[in-house]
Copies of this chain bind each other. A is one copy, B any other.
């Protein structure tokens, strides 16, 4: 049986999960592919660290060159995480004619073109399935089975930590801070949760999806990104009353020859399939011009689900090596019509404000919205929730408007004598 040799960079959670996935299913993989896949060398930080898998001392190294310069190694699997040194290691591996597999969203989002170009120049394969949806095979589907489609829209719940927090807030009527604390205790959230709760992780994944689906590069700095730290249990309760759930969404959609994209919490209609994606699960919803609506649902993180995706890429490359066809055909341009990226575009919004409980308030505020060309979809005034200053919550669902225009209208309303506070502004899907 032909043996394919793999060099692993990193043996943390995902590295260990990849190792375990291979060991657990070795016989199954061999019987399905006729190939033996061997993890020949592993780059680690600490040679003496105690691990829950059995690796032999001559299998591990602290020197990247032991892997990248080893002519017997076919595939380098990068599972270090972070932009550097991961990106440099991958580029070096590609230059040394190694095929490369990675689960690293930050590195792929930051260096998409460089990595693709290096793979093309060196006629090797570069795969990154695990970098977007963990175990969900979305990249493979977009790159193969769905190629006969032009895509109109992508919607994704691609961060398990924030989806877990929002789900728990929704199900138990809890505050953000309390759920975050429990999530951290249970290991569902990092001690420093910034990259998750501020939407940075999601923006990295959206940037990759946009490159793949729409053929243009949008760096994460250019994607309007908002996390979930300002979502209150009141927002979630009100969303429920209007028929929505609040989800942190990655969105990209074509409007004519423009592309809109953003990472924001959003009101999602309860009957949309993505609304029922709960807790640590992820889902990616795409709309193609032939296939129509399609959703992929699964575990977006975790050692074994991620290991499944990494090993899927390794197997694809291994089979291509065995067939003598381990290279990709690259065409000049992925994009037929060059799309122009315009940021977040127009959206519907939920606005929750505190207003004086006096006659004429609703009329005055509605008139102001109207003057700015903003239509009102629904309104809810909750006099029973009045505070000690006799102020009451007034909630609007507004028709499509740019955020800049909405902010202008809200500034005008804020400066009136009626509204004392704008409590929240959340996009409505």
Of A228-236, A239-247, A310-318, A339-347, the one with at least 4 CB within 8 A of chain B:
A310-318
> A303-349: which residues lie under 8 A (CB-CB) from chain B?
304-305, 307-309, 311-316, 319-320, 322-325, 327, 329, 331-336
Shortest distance from the beta carbon of A125 to any chain B beta carbon, whole Å: 12
Of the candidates B22, B294, B304, B313, which one forms a contact with A292 in the assembled complex, judged by CB atoms under 8 Å apart? B304
The reply on A420 being an interface residue by CB < 8 A is no
CA of A25 to CA of B302, assembled, Å? 37
0 or 1 for each of A262-278: is its CB under 8 Å from B? (1 = yes): 00000000010100111
Whether B273 lies near A297 (C-beta < 8 A) is yes
0 or 1 for each of A286-298: is its CB under 8 Å from B? (1 = yes): 0011111111111
Of the candidates B29, B273, B294, which one forms a contact with A135 in the assembled complex, judged by CB atoms under 8 Å apart? B294
Of the candidates B145, B322, B334, B335, which one forms a contact with A129 in the assembled complex, judged by CB atoms under 8 Å apart? B145
Whether A299 lies near B308 (C-beta < 8 A) is no
Which residue from chain B places its CB closest to the CB of A270 in the assembled complex? Answer: B276
The reply on A255 being an interface residue by CB < 8 A is no
Which residues of B sit under 8 angstroms from A145, Cβ to Cβ? 129, 137, 140-141, 309, 312-313, 316
Of A63-71, A147-155, A191-199, the one with at least 4 CB within 8 A of chain B:
A147-155
Whether B336 lies near A150 (C-beta < 8 A) is no
The reply on A21 being an interface residue by CB < 8 A is yes
Which residue from chain B places its CB closest to the CB of A290 in the assembled complex? Answer: B308
Shortest distance from the beta carbon of A33 to any chain B beta carbon, whole Å: 7
The reply on A365 being an interface residue by CB < 8 A is no
| Listed residue (A146, A281, A316) with the most chain B CB atoms within 10 angstroms of its CB | A146
The reply on A34 being an interface residue by CB < 8 A is yes
CA of A147 to CA of B316, assembled, Å? 9
Which residues of B sit under 8 angstroms from A276, Cβ to Cβ? 273, 276
Whether A21 lies near B148 (C-beta < 8 A) is yes
CA of A25 to CA of B336, assembled, Å? 10
Which residues of B sit under 8 angstroms from A311, Cβ to Cβ? 147-148, 290
| Listed residue (A150, A302, A332) with the most chain B CB atoms within 10 angstroms of its CB | A150
Which residues of B sit under 8 angstroms from A389, Cβ to Cβ? none
Which residues of B sit under 8 angstroms from A146, Cβ to Cβ? 137, 308, 312
CA of A297 to CA of B300, assembled, Å? 16
Whether B291 lies near A32 (C-beta < 8 A) is no
> A128-164: which residues lie under 8 A (CB-CB) from chain B?
129, 135-137, 140-141, 144-150
Whether B148 lies near A315 (C-beta < 8 A) is yes
Which residues of B sit under 8 angstroms from A304, Cβ to Cβ? 289-292
Whether A28 lies near B298 (C-beta < 8 A) is no
7 interchain pairs (CB within 8 A)? A25-B290, A137-B144, A141-B145, A273-B297, A289-B304, A320-B325, A323-B327
Which residues does A use to contact B, with CB under 8 Å?
21-22, 24-25, 27-29, 31-34, 129, 135-137, 140-141, 144-150, 271, 273, 276-278, 281, 288-299, 302, 304-305, 307-309, 311-316, 319-320, 322-325, 327, 329, 331-336
A sample of 19 more A-B contacts (CB under 8 A), given A21-B290, A31-B336, is A29-B147, A29-B148, A31-B334, A32-B147, A137-B141, A137-B146, A141-B141, A147-B315, A273-B281, A281-B293, A290-B307, A290-B311, A291-B299, A292-B299, A293-B297, A294-B298, A296-B296, A323-B327, A324-B325
